[in-house]
Amino acid sequence: AMAADRALAMVTCTAPANIAVIKYWGKRDNDLILPINSSLSVTLHQDQLKTTTTAAASRDFTEDRLWLNGEEADIGHPRLQACLREVRRLARKRRGSSAEDVAPLSLSYKIHIATENNFPTAAGLASSAAGYACLVSTLARLYGVEGELSEVARRGSGSACRSMFGGFVQWQQGERPDGRDSLAHQVAPETHWPELRVLVLVVSGEKKQVGSTAGMQTSVDTSPLLKHRAEVVVPERLEQMTRHIRERDFEGFGRLTMQDSNQFHATCLDTFPPIFYLNDVSRRIIALVHRFNAHHGHTKVAYTFDAGPNAVIFTLDDTVAEFMEVVRRSFPPATNGDQFLRGLPIGSASLPEELLTAVVTETLPGAIQYVLHTKPGPGPQLMDDPDQHLLGADGLPRRCA
Ligand code: DP6
């Protein structure tokens, strides 16, 4: 085959972040990354948040190399190596079973990988999920592997398996000790709920204290609430959440999303020693959302928080402008020239006096750094324009940091 003689093969993909509405917290197998409960998430649109990865293989490369946002990084990371090994194993299996050589690229060639986020890592927006989903999608294309890949992405980071699909995605915990049934699948595509909107409220200052991996291990070891949650609460909630999504029932979806976020943070407090991811600004956002909903007499806005203080808000398109104005009044932007609203544009809304009095009861200038407006989006994408490769023909990063 002609392709077998290629000196250099190169593939670029992009992949999305996701935000869980039924949270994953706790592993039953640390090496295979098998969870103690199933989880469900919304994939976020790549126009606002994405990772781009280019992988190249060449007989001329002398070693495997990795660049993260333009800086060379250690390719020996065990989770990255696990993904690489699994994709190569699938490629070998595929070649063994098909008569003709489908992707004759040599598996023994060294590879170069470059990866970039279009959002600041400081935003604490599950960059590992987008990152590993992107790595696995890109490697799979490079080696001609198709089909079930969420199992491989899971080996990078648990939440990454959910970024392998667009829209609304469930990660089925599975039962097998080898993890072959611990997979993600799409519950509904991103087109299913066109009115749904997402606001990421990036809280100023403060880096993440305890990482997810270490935090959830301590929770598994010490929290009786987490055990109850995994065994009793989550199975019921997954069914309810799936129904709310199918029926596009925002009231039900929003309420359950908030309750599940709150229970996740309760398991963190129940962990010993306790873990605190929410800070004072997070709690003010929670109170604001509840005042807003109480004023309207029903759930129009919902919050969820992962392992950090930033809030992710769900609402519908007809409520975005009003809620954004409430956020702006409550957390007046610091005048440092930074754009306060980023992402999808939002129209202006004038707030009725009685809403202002009831909802905007306190102001915390500068407490929110910026707000990113986005919506549900599709899964990983192959870039077919060679201009989008992060590596040049020499296999080195094109735009150095
Ligand atoms: C709070 O997927 O980052 O965001 O599997 O150890 O890499 P590892 O953890 P990770 O945990 C995510 C936890 C969470 C909830 C969620 O996304 O479901």
- Model confidence over 346-366: pLDDT tens digits? 999 999 999 999 999 999 999
Strand order in the sheet with 65-68: 71-73, 65-68, 110-117, 50-58, 8-16, 381-382
Of 38, 40, 46, which Cα lies nearest the Cα of 17?
46
Angle between the 127-142 and 78-97 helix axes, to the nearest 10 degrees? 30
The percentage of residues in the chain with a pLDDT greater than 70, rounded to a whole number, is 94
Q: From ligand 1's centre to the CA of 351, what distance in Å?
A: 37
Q: Report the pLDDT value the prediction gives residue 96, as an integer from 0 to 100.
A: 76
pLDDT mean over 283-305: 98
Give the pairing type, strands 368-374 and 341-343.
parallel
Q: From ligand 1's centre to the CA of 365, what distance in Å?
A: 31
Q: Whose CA is nearest to atom 14 of ligand 1?
A: 306
Q: From ligand 1's centre to the CA of 285, what distance in Å?
A: 22
Distance CA 87, CA 142 (A): 10
pLDDT mean over 178-207: 94
Distance CA 54, CA 151 (A): 21
Q: Report the pLDDT value the prediction gives residue 1, as an integer from 0 to 100.
A: 37
Q: Is the peptide bond before 104 cis (omega within 30 degrees of 0)?
A: no
- The per-residue pLDDT of the chain, averaged, comes to 93
H or E stretch covering 10? strand 8-16
Q: Whose CA is nearest to atom 4 of ligand 1?
A: 306
Alpha helices of 223-352 — where are they, by DSSP H?
Answer: 224-228, 234-246, 250-270, 280-296, 320-330
Q: From ligand 1's centre to the CA of 34, what distance in Å?
A: 11
Q: From ligand 1's centre to the CA of 102, what distance in Å?
A: 35
- For residue 51, give the amino acid letter: T
Give the ligand 1 atom nearest the CA of 158: 5
Instruction: Record the tokens describing residue 364, joined without a space.
Output: 């915390």
Task: Categorize the per-residue pLDDT at 2 as very low, low, confident or very high, splitting at 50, 70 and 90.
Answer: very low
Give the ligand 1 atom nearest the CA of 39: 18
Q: Could you tell me how many residues make up the chain?
A: 401
Reduce the DSSP state of residue 202 to 3 states and report it.
strand
Question: Rounded to the nearest 5°, which phi and psi values hold at 276?
Answer: -115, 115
Q: From ligand 1's centre to the CA of 324, what distance in Å?
A: 28
List, in sequence order, every beta strand (DSSP E) within 152-243: 168-171, 184-188, 196-203
147: left (phi over 0), alpha (psi -120 to 50) or beta: left
Mutate to test the pocket of ligand 1, among 18, 19, 24, 271 (most ligand atoms within 8 A of CB): 24
Q: What is the pLDDT of residues 379-395, one digit of tens each?
A: 999 999 999 999 999 99
206: left (phi over 0), alpha (psi -120 to 50) or beta: left
Q: From ligand 1's centre to the CA of 106, what distance in Å?
A: 34
Distance CA 259, CA 15 (A): 28
- For residue 209, give the amino acid letter: Q
What is the CB neighbour count within 10 angstroms for residue 357?
11
Task: Categorize the per-residue pLDDT at 127 as very low, low, confident or very high, splitting at 50, 70 and 90.
Answer: confident
* Between 4 and 291, residue with greater pLDDT: 291
Q: What is the pLDDT of residues 135-160, one digit of tens each?
A: 999 999 999 999 899 999 999 999 99
pLDDT mean over 225-241: 98
Question: Rounded to the nearest 5°, which phi and psi values hold at 316?
Answer: -105, 160
Query: Residue 260: exposed, middle, or buried by beta-carbon count in 10 A (0-12, 13-18, 19+)?
Result: buried
Q: pTM (2 decimals)?
A: 0.95
Q: Is the pLDDT score of 125 beyond 70?
A: no
Q: Report the pLDDT value the prediction gives residue 401, as an integer from 0 to 100.
A: 45
Task: Categorize the per-residue pLDDT at 98 as very low, low, confident or very high, splitting at 50, 70 and 90.
Answer: low
Q: Whose CA is nearest to atom 1 of ligand 1?
A: 306
* Between 369 and 336, residue with greater pLDDT: 369
Q: Report the pLDDT value the prediction gives residue 94, as an integer from 0 to 100.
A: 84
Give the ligand 1 atom nearest the CA of 24: 18
Mutate to test the pocket of ligand 1, among 159, 171, 229, 276 (most ligand atoms within 8 A of CB): 159
Task: Categorize the per-residue pLDDT at 3 as very low, low, confident or very high, splitting at 50, 70 and 90.
Answer: very low
Task: Categorize the per-residue pLDDT at 204 as very low, low, confident or very high, splitting at 50, 70 and 90.
Answer: confident
Q: Is the pLDDT score of 100 beyond 60?
A: no
Q: Is the pLDDT score of 400 beyond 60?
A: no
pLDDT mean over 76-83: 97
Q: What is the pLDDT of residues 28-58, one digit of tens each?
A: 999 999 999 999 999 999 999 999 999 999 9
pLDDT mean over 211-235: 97
Half-sphere exposure of 262 (CA within 13 A, CB side): 12
Instruction: Record the tokens describing residue 12, joined without a space.
Output: 């670029």
* Between 276 and 100, residue with greater pLDDT: 276
Q: Is the pLDDT score of 72 beyond 70?
A: yes
Q: Is the pLDDT score of 338 beyond 90?
A: no
Ligand 1 is surrounded, with C-beta below 6 A, by: 20, 23-25, 33, 39, 126, 128, 157-159, 212-213, 306-307
Q: From ligand 1's centre to the CA of 25, what distance in Å?
A: 7
Question: Rounded to the nearest 5°, which phi and psi values hold at 21?
Answer: -105, -20
| Domains present along the chain, CATH in parentheses | 8-189+380-388 (3.30.230.10), 196-374 (3.30.70.890)
pLDDT mean over 96-104: 60
Instruction: Report CA Rg, the chain.
Output: 22
CA distances from 358 to 39, 94, 291, 292, 340 (A): 35, 62, 7, 8, 24
- For residue 167, give the amino acid letter: G
